[in-house]
Amino acid sequence: VPPENVLNLIHAFHKNLLQVRRGGLHFKEQYYKCVRADEHSLYLQNVYGGLIVAKTKTFILVATYRVGMYPSVCVEAVEKL
């Protein structure tokens, strides 16, 4: 993942959560609309699929899914990690 995308995610969690809820997020040159956001996770989607971001003590986990895949399966897999 390019550094600007990583910094964008870190910034979203620490300083920009309300803005992400209202205006979505750009990641890897794609715009994602926010479905749900809190201090531990971001759930976003666009016409091509979705983006799940989860913050742990050490890492920020990023998972994507395509149209036709079940978002709930992606969410469940990320939460188990």
Per DSSP, helices labelled H in the chain are 3-14, 17-23, 71-80
Query: Structure tokens of 18?
Result: 């309300």
**Mean of all residue pLDDT scores within the chain:** 88
Euclidean distance between CA atoms 1 and 80, whole angstroms: 22
The sign of the torsion formed by the CA atoms of 75, 65, 23, 29 equals positive
Among residues 60, 15, 57, 51, the alpha carbon closest in space to that of 33 is found at: 51
Considering its fold, how many domains does the chain have in total?
Answer: 1
5: pLDDT strictly greater than 90 = no
**For residues 65 and 44, is the Cβ–Cβ distance under 8 A?**
no
Which CATH number does the domain housing residue 76 bear? Answer: 3.30.450.30
User: 4 or 41: which carries more pLDDT confidence?
Assistant: 41
pLDDT (tens digit per residue) in 7-45: 888 888 777 888 899 999 988 889 999 999 988 899 999
**What is the span of the domain harbouring residue 24?**
3-80
The pTM of this model reads 0.84
